[in-house]
Amino acid sequence: MRERLAFSPGQQREALLRLRRQFPQAEAVLLSTCNRVELYLAAEEAVRCPTHHQVVEFLAEFHGLDPATFFDELFERTGEDAVRHLFTVAASLDSMVVGEGQILPQVKSAYDQATAGETTGPLTHTAFQAAIRVARRIARDTSINQRRVSIPSVAVADFAKTFFERFDDKRVLVIGAGEMAEETLRYLIDEGAAEISIVNRSRERADRLAHNITGTVRPWEELESQLCDADLVVSTTGASEPIIDAERFAPIHRDRSQRPLFILDLAVPRDFAVEVGVFSDVYLYSIDDLSKTCEANKAAREKEWPKAERMIEEETARFMAELNHRATGPVIKRLRAQADNIKNDELKRLFNKLTDLDDRSRQDIEQAFNRLVNKVLHPPLESLRDEAQQGSPHGLLDAMKRLFQIKD
């Protein structure tokens, strides 16, 4: 289901444009990675945000799916829970591989793309900038991110290394030329891989990967022949459906003459159909197959979890307090302006009567009026700040508007 709901980079841009047209008063950020599809929405007023059902309808229409097939697979977080979830995701505490280094750049990229598409605003700016700060704090103050372990590193170290004793004599085929391919290739080179072929639909991107790392670029049309020769395949394309199914793989398998083939399919959606793994001497692993190893990874970092979770709670509480306090700003500004207008009117009336006052006396009277206004306003404003620390101060805000007759 995650594969069917995934967004390619191009689809992300198109989805954000559609969201902006459909819900012009809502802010939106779309995060789509190999392990999650998340849509963050925000607005000053709840009625301006799409409802849960509208989000489902949007996803269904965009991907051409029946809403009933995935409605129960979605979860919704609102308010403080949504902020806490974002912080947890950015800090890699919700990743398949806890502490992996890819998710924070992915969160930043999603935020940057939404900003470029003009679908962000004050709330999402504040939330995502805070999430980046929180993630860096946890990386700095805990050991969760020490010896960072990404999905490619788990794929190589915990899967490929259990299959191959050495890599320097293996023919490696990399299908795709994105970040996942590059990171996996780095790990393989560290393990001694030297004979590397790169196949990608975009020759330019393949050439760039070969230039940055290493490897020989082969034309996309040679994919079958390269699969015939390879010992280890790493596939990370952005294709919307499998590029190799059982029918296409059958002649490749025949030409391999029973030589073992190890395939790490790290693409979402997958590049190799599940049926390919049924062929003899083919060992096919997808991202989902990494989950057990990743759970072990979580257990190894378990002792750091309480510390990191406390930081998440602290930062979430701080964020919500600041957000709630910021919500009081317009009311406080109007209240002070209203009080200043009354004060200035009274001072003007008083000075018109006391025409023989010198400048020093005028200043003393003005200061006395200022202190009086500040002392009168202090209790209600202090109560408003305290209320914001505890949660949303809407009730007290409404009461103050009525008591002081503050107009929007």
Strand ranges for 14-59 from DSSP E: 27-32, 37-42
Strand ranges for 241-378 from DSSP E: 261-265, 282-286
Q: How long, in residues, is the chain? A: 408
DSSP string, 314-356: HHHHHHHHHHHHHHHHHHHHHHHHHHHHHHHHHHHHHHHH-TT
Alpha-helix runs per DSSP H in 142-201: 151-154, 161-163, 179-190
> Which among 163, 191, 152 is positioned nearest to 261, based on CA atoms?
163
Judge whether 173 and 197 are in contact, CB under 8 Å: yes
34 is a catalytic site residue: yes
The DSSP call for residue 208 is H
For the chain, how are helix, strand and coil distributed in percent, rounded to 5?
60, 10, 30
The DSSP call for residue 206 is H
Helix, strand counts (H, E) of the chain: 16, 8
User: CA 324 to CA 331: how far, in whole Å?
Assistant: 12
Q: Indicate the residue type of 361.
A: S
The DSSP call for residue 233 is E
**Gap between the terminal Cα atoms of the chain:** 46
Category of 244 on φ-ψ map: left (φ > 0), alpha (ψ -120 to 50) or beta: beta
What's the angle, vertex CA 196, arms to CA 246 and CA 182, rounded to 5? 90
199 forms beta bridges with: 175, 218
Element spanning 217, H or E: strand 216-218
User: Angle between the 9-22 and 103-116 helix axes, to the nearest 10 degrees?
Assistant: 50
Task: Write the CB contacts of 71 (distance below 8 Å, at least 6 apart in sequence).
Answer: 56
Which residues belong to the active site?
Answer: 34
